[in-house]
A and B are shown apart, each in its own frame.
Chain A
Amino acid sequence: MTRAGNPRLSQFLSEELRYLVLAFDEHNQLISSEGNAAFYGFDTNSISGKSADEFLPFLTGIDKKVTQHLPYIEFIDNIITDIYLYPDASGYEVVLLETSAQHDAQRSVQQQSNENAILHYRLQQLSERLKQNNILLEKANQAKSEFIATASHELKTPLASILGYAESLDKYRDNPELEQAFTAISGNGNYLLSLIDNLLEQGRVESDQVSIQRRPSKLGVLLDDIENIIRPLANKKKLSFKVESSHNELFLLLDEQHVRQILINLMTNAVKYTEEGQVILKADYSDGLLQFRIVDTGIGIPESELEEIMLPFRRVGGHRNSIEGIGLGLSVSHKLATLMDAELLIESKPGQGTTAQLTIPAEKSTINKTGLSDYNRNAHILLVEDDSDLSSLFEKVLSEYGYKAITVSDQESLDQALNTHQPEIILMDHNVNGHNGLDLVQHIYKDDYPGKVIMMTASSDQSLVDMALQAGCSDFLQKPINLNTLIGTIQQYL
């Protein structure tokens, strides 16, 4: 007799529900079975009388005196069963009930959930790693900025002195011996300065540290500077050199320092890559656009290389070793032009020369101070500077313009000088004997200093400009300071 009572019903249930009931005695020997043994791969005859552990491995270790329900057990490949164990007086019964469908449904949900959890974990870890990398990058960037600032200071301070003194010797050009020495010092000094500027600027551009500072600039002064730097190079190669402009008296709002850097780069290239003929710099201004054209009769650039030469450390093919330079000038110029919303175009044909065209949006300045003699002479200028060469140079130049220049290099003498001389303008070095010039500026203004402070630094850190202005400085000059720029800036505030 079957449990279902009816053999047909029993057969129907075992086939549909795929159950199997196995009864064991207290010695684990199979006594009877009922249900769909074939579905579980059992041959009723062959398992008859066998020990339970021999064909039901899940019973190993199981307490058979306790009722059990073990869901979703796969002890035969691809067949999932719920297992029930019922102890009785003579032994126990094991019931197998196939639950593959429920198992698969649950697994589908669980699979999705687990995969999501793993993905979530991976994303979290990735996000954490990115954060850590970001912190490291920021630290590296900070270190790079500090290095650039230090390198700027260390490299440019002595150059400021060399170029400043060379500039002050300009009036002795009539002496042929001095003229040669002046040309050599000035030419090589300016070349070294342009190399340093390009190297430092490349680093700053890459780390988004360049800010554009537009201030009133007299076009003629800028062109004179460029001519003074480039003419000796052109003369050395016996090239015809011309600067053409009918707007020399114009005052424009320009980032003069960066425009000068671009023009020096373009002009230096023009001279370097021209063996005979001429180099011309033309300046024009109309409709708020300042346009420079540098035309040379040099070797030209193949069309295929026109884009490539804008990349750092790339130079015109075939001349990499024969012409001095490090291949940064055009790359830096291009980036600086972009930052100034300017356009830099290079047109060239091999053998027919090159034309570089720089077009800069530039408003006319409302400040139009032209002469040097109209200004408040006899004013006291206090120099806070620890480089004795530079301070001597500035004192000399300032005194030539009639100013009374006093130099101090520490806070105590600064306080004394403020009381004694009541200077109209203070030229404050950013780094004075290890003291931060910004702290000294704050110190000065705390005592209601009525004059103006102009910060000077060899550092290339542009955030310094903002900090200086916030600290109360009226202006900011970057070393090496062109002496005309120095005087022009002082005059703005007198």
Chain B
Amino acid sequence: MSSLAKKICLIGDFGVGKTSLVRRFVSNIFTDDYITTVGVKIETKVVNLDHENSVKLVIWDIAGADNLDSLKMSYLQGANGYLLVADGTRRNTLDSALVLKQKIDSVLDAPPYQLLLNKVDLKSDWELGDDDYLMLKQKNILYSESSALTGSAVEQAFEKLARGFWQSK
């Protein structure tokens, strides 16, 4: 049995569902209440890649913001990867996510990431459209549409990061 411990961060504007995604992934629960994160909530979960190998993810759920100040950058130090989260029902949070990505890439040497367009269960309120998807494609940014409510694409996003760490160890 071989195991790695890797730090990953959840980054995105406030209210996009970062804490809910972590709760869904770690505890498999969802609550609809919005409780603002201040500072960081740290969770761990071991992702078993196969019978032999696993990765222990140390997950930093960082308070949401549309920019990264020096404090938030200090939370990010040593991160091996990150989940970039936007709320598909608020178009502006995708813009924020892309700004955050640019900042992280410039400071942390472009660590691996997964972009989640979250709250896909609220598709009727979805504000992202063809122009946004085209823009992401043009920037070569892969994304998944996720839902902490239904669990859609949540585990896969964390696992992808974990597998990536293992393959590049």
Contact = CB atoms under 8 A, between A and B. Distances in A.
B71 A118 contact: no
B79 A61 contact: yes
B160 interface: no
Interface stretch (B39-47, B116-124, B135-143, B151-159): B39-47
Contacts of B39: 71-74, 80, 103
Interface string A82-116: 00000000000000000000010011001100110
A121 B95 CA distance: 14
A58 interface: yes
Interface in B10-67: 14-15, 34-36, 38-42, 44, 58, 60, 63-64
B42 A107 contact: no
Interface stretch (A62-70, A166-174, A399-407): A62-70
Given A61-B79, A61-B80, A107 B36 contact: yes
A221 to B, nearest CB: 60
B58 A121 contact: no
Contacts of A103: 38-39
Contacts of A71: 39, 71
A61 B36 contact: no
Nearest to B61: A74
Given A58-B58, A61-B77, A106 B6 contact: no
A198 B132 CA distance: 49
Given A114-B14, A121-B92, A63 B77 contact: yes
A63 B38 contact: no
A432 to B, nearest CB: 47
B104 interface: no
A107 B39 CA distance: 9
A205 to B, nearest CB: 35
A69 B34 CA distance: 28
Contacts of B98: none
B68 interface: no
B44 A57 contact: yes
B47 to A, nearest CB: 14
B74 A73 contact: no
Nearest to B5: A60
Nearest to B40: A73
A117 B40 contact: no
A75 interface: yes
B7 interface: yes
B75 interface: yes
A62 B74 CA distance: 10
B73 to A, nearest CB: 12
Contact of A70 (B34, B40, B41, B127): B40
Interface extent on A, as a size class? 20 to 34
B44 A62 contact: no
B164 interface: no
Contacts of A125: 91, 127
B38 A106 contact: yes
Interface string A315-356: 000000000000000000000000000000000000000000
Interface in A393-426: none
A224 interface: no
B90 interface: yes
B26 to A, nearest CB: 11
A53 interface: yes
Given A68-B74, A114-B14, A60 B38 contact: no
A118 B7 contact: no
Contact of A63 (B15, B35, B78, B80): B78
Contacts of B58: 57-58, 60-61
B55 to A, nearest CB: 11
A154 to B, nearest CB: 40
Given A58-B58, A60-B5, A74 B79 contact: no
Contacts of A73: 39-40, 42
A407 B64 CA distance: 78
A74 B77 CA distance: 17
Interface in B96-137: 127
Interface in A227-275: none
Contacts of B15: 114, 118
Contact of B5 (A53, A74, A110, A111): A53
Contact of A74 (B14, B41, B127): B41
Contact of B40 (A68, A72, A106, A114): A72
A80 B38 CA distance: 10
Nearest to A82: B39
Interface string A151-166: 0000000000000000
A70 B38 contact: no
A75 B77 contact: no
B92 A107 contact: no
A349 B29 CA distance: 67
B36 A74 contact: no
Given A61-B79, A63-B78, A121-B90, A107 B7 contact: no
A254 B99 CA distance: 68
A115 B35 CA distance: 10
Contacts of A111: 34-36
A60 B78 contact: yes
A103 B63 CA distance: 12
Contacts of B92: 121
15 contacts: A57-B58, A58-B42, A60-B5, A61-B79, A62-B78, A63-B77, A69-B74, A72-B40, A74-B39, A74-B42, A80-B39, A107-B38, A117-B14, A118-B15, A121-B90
Given A58-B42, A61-B58, 14 more contacts: A60-B7, A61-B78, A61-B79, A70-B40, A74-B41, A80-B39, A103-B38, A107-B35, A110-B38, A110-B63, A111-B34, A114-B34, A115-B34, A125-B91
Q: What 8 A-B pairs have minimum CB-CB distances, sorted nearest first?
A: A72-B39, A61-B78, A61-B7, A75-B42, A111-B36, A60-B58, A107-B38, A74-B41
